[in-house]
Every structure is written in C-alpha cells, then in structure tokens.
Homo-oligomer: A and B are copies of this chain.
C-alpha cells in the first residue's frame, strides 16, 4: 500500500465513525427517550475520544510526509486531510476536552437563562466559553488573527477583513430597502388552522417536489429543524406550528437544500474528505437558494397556492399574487430565525461585529447586552424588550460556535450569485416552477455545484458554477428587484 492508500483507508474508517457520531446527534434530537440524556452524553464523549485519537494518529504525519498525490482529486483529498490533521494536533487535547465538557454544560445553562430571561445567569459561563475559545483560537492562529482562526473552521479561506468589508458594502442598500418596504402598506397575513398531519403530508410532498431522495433519507419532527448525515443516509427534520404553515414549509425546503447537497455529491467521494459539503457558507447557499430564490419565487408560490387551497380550503388569501406577498411579508422582528429575506442579513452583521469584538477582547462580556441592545435599536429601529428576544436568543455562543454566524450571510451571497447564473442558464425556469417542477433548478445546482463535494475550495466552486467571482451584487439586486416590485416601490 502507498502512503496515499494508507491515508485514504484510515480516513474512510474515521469518516464512517463520524457518521455514527452524527447519527447519534440525530437520534438525540428526534428519537431518544428523555431519560437517556445523561448516558447519551457519555456515549458522545466516548465517540469524540475515538475520533480525536484517529484524527491525531501520528501515522498520519508520516503518511503525509511521504504521499505523492496522483491527480487533482488526490490533491484535494490530501489538502483536506492535512488541514484536519493540522487543526486536530494544534489544539492541545486537554483544551479540546475542556471545551467539549464546558460547552455541553453551557448549552443547558443558556437554555435555562433564556427561559428565565436571566442574562446574569449566563454571563459567567459565556465568559468561560469565550476564554477557552480565545485559547483555542490562539493555538490555531499561531500569531495570526484570533477570529480569523475560528472562521476558518467553518469557511476555509474567509477572513474577518474581507467579510467585514463585504458586510459594510451590503448594509446601506439593505437599510434603504428595509426602510422603503416598511413605509409601504403591509400585505395581509394568513389566517386559519393548519393541522399537524396535513402540514406533515405537505412537507413530504414538498420534499419530493424538490427531488429529495427518500431512498436515502427520512423526515422527522424536531424542536429546531436540522439535517444530518451524508453519503447514502442524509435525514431531514421539520417542525409544525398549527397557525403558521410557512414555518413547516420553509424549514422543510431549507433542510432539503442542505440534505440534497450531501446526497448529490459524486458517489466516488463517499466516506472520503471530498464526500461532504465544502463549507458552511456553500452549504447555506444550497438551503437558502432552495428556500428563497426557488421556494419563495413568484412562480413556485403560485403553484403552492393551489396546493394549499386543495389541502386547507379557504385560508384568507384570495389570489396567487396575495399568497406570494404573504409568503414574502417583510416585518421587523427580534428573532433571527424568523426574519424575512430583507432583515435576515442585518441580524447576521450585528452578531458578526459583536462576536468578533468579544473574541478579540474589544468587548467585555459584561457589556455585551448593552452593546446588543444599542446596535439592535440602531439597525432595526426597535428596542429589545427582553433578553430572550435579544442576546439570549441564539444557541451558538453557548456551544462555542464563534465564527459561524457570518457563513449564513455568505451563504445568502453565494445563493444570490448562483441564482443569477442559474436563471441565465435554465430557460423558462419560472414557468417550470409555476407548474411545481423544480428539476431544472435542482438539476443545474447538482450538476454545477453539489456533485463536486469538497473537490474545490468554497469560493472556487461557486465561481466555477457562476462564471464570475462571488460578490454581494447579485443578492442585493435580487432583493431590491423582488421587494420593490412586490411592494410597488
């Protein structure tokens, strides 16, 4: 066996074990009896221990020193293996364990603090998490920027400087669009009761409509919808609020986007480093383009209006145009996960600035709530009414996910670029969507982006698909065109 064969064989088992660990997480959120939580945390820790030992196996360094990749695919595999090994060995084992232990406890403390609207109960723990993340970042950065080192975990190649500059270019146009839209008359919302079983049937049918491969997936309920797994087993979840069907509908389409990316990767890359979505940003581009540029388009909502009428009868919306407006209703709100396309990125930019300052030591944890509330008032024109609607709303910081937030907006930016290229490439796309036929869109995405998995770097694969370097222009153009037309501005 060559060094390359050794590396790939070792990696294949590690990938299989990490699939097992991921499925354990899926089970925890969908199936686990409530009494199983404590034992489960020991099971997860044991799996993490096994994975960490495999990722830092000293033989990897020997094989990497010897390996001569034969082609582009082998080069990409080695690039990923080298990156993973460097990362795993740079962070001291004790620190990694301490972080794992703390963040698992911190999540519970955060959840209780949020339920009680009690910032003070969360701050000491958050402070500890930030301290450990700073140590981790220092180990990874080796003299470079701390926050960049954390971003790199989720979006290799991205930096706070380039992201920050892009966000600065985006903010004025979003703020202007937001102000104009909110000054116009608001469309009518939905009224009615949308039963659980009927919503779940619709969710399944929508997943099928978007080409979800039921032979390699399944749909279950979860408090916070997510997708999980890859290769030949990638599962989605959804939730149902019986007064708000868009919650279930767009959660489902979003997760189908994530899951389809995983399932459409070239099967030759299965159980190898290339067999995953390449970054969080590119992943989010797929969930967002399925959800927004396709799922919230005029064409597709027209088809969905018919589906809703068939399934739910009269629900207070008279025409496809009114339904399109209801789906895309813009309204200010405290909660990021409920934000419309116009507001969403403003939420992200705010978190980006705050977490960057926290990690770089420019913002003290004790000042975070005031900083959050001031910024929210400035960006959204509303005062935060309670911490659960403010700095306690997201789980991310409690579990140490610093550097993750910007990938949401990066995903939207990539989705904007891909949408522009896709619409140029696929003739009569809107007409097809109006018939409930997404195959032109999903087929284009599969062929031009999804199948490559980790073969190219994130920006590279988006550029390859689009034919131009990714930038924020297409997203902003799309949003302005869509919402100015919708609101008759």
Contact = CB atoms under 8 A, between A and B. Distances in A.
Contacts of A233: 32-33, 35-36, 39-40
B20 A24 contact: yes
A50 B17 contact: yes
B217 A33 contact: yes
A213 B231 CA distance: 35
Contacts of A45: 16
Contacts of A36: 216, 232-233
Nearest to A230: B39
Contacts of A46: 13, 16-17, 20
Number of copies of this kind of chain in the complex:
2
A316 to B, nearest CB: 33
A68 B214 CA distance: 55
A47 B38 CA distance: 21
A39 B218 contact: no
A215 interface: yes
A347 interface: no
A213 B35 contact: yes
Interface in A24-56: 24, 27, 31-36, 38-40, 42-43, 45-47, 49-50
Contact of A16 (B12, B31, B42, B216): B42
A23 B27 contact: yes
B35 A215 contact: yes
A23 B46 CA distance: 14
Given A23-B27, A24-B23, A27-B27, A17 B43 contact: yes
Interface string A212-254: 0111111000000000000111010000000000000000000
Interface string A289-310: 0000000000000000000000
B35 A20 contact: no
Contacts of A16: 39, 42-43, 45-46
Nearest to A229: B36
Contacts of A42: 12, 16, 271
A32 B235 CA distance: 9
Given A12-B42, A49-B13, A271-B39, A218 B33 contact: yes
Nearest to A24: B20
Contacts of A20: 20, 24, 43, 46-47
A217 B232 CA distance: 28
8 contacts: A16-B42, A16-B43, A23-B27, A33-B235, A36-B232, A38-B232, A39-B231, A42-B271
Please provide the 6 A-B residue pairs with the shortest distance between their CB atoms, ordered closest to farther.
A36-B233, A35-B216, A35-B215, A16-B46, A39-B232, A13-B46
Given A33-B218, A35-B233, A36-B233, 19 more contacts: A12-B42, A13-B49, A16-B43, A19-B43, A23-B24, A31-B31, A33-B216, A33-B217, A33-B235, A34-B215, A35-B213, A35-B215, A35-B216, A38-B232, A39-B231, A39-B233, A39-B271, A40-B233, A42-B271
Interface of A: 12-13, 16-17, 19-20, 23-24, 27, 31-36, 38-40, 42-43, 45-47, 49-50, 213-218, 231-233, 235, 270-271
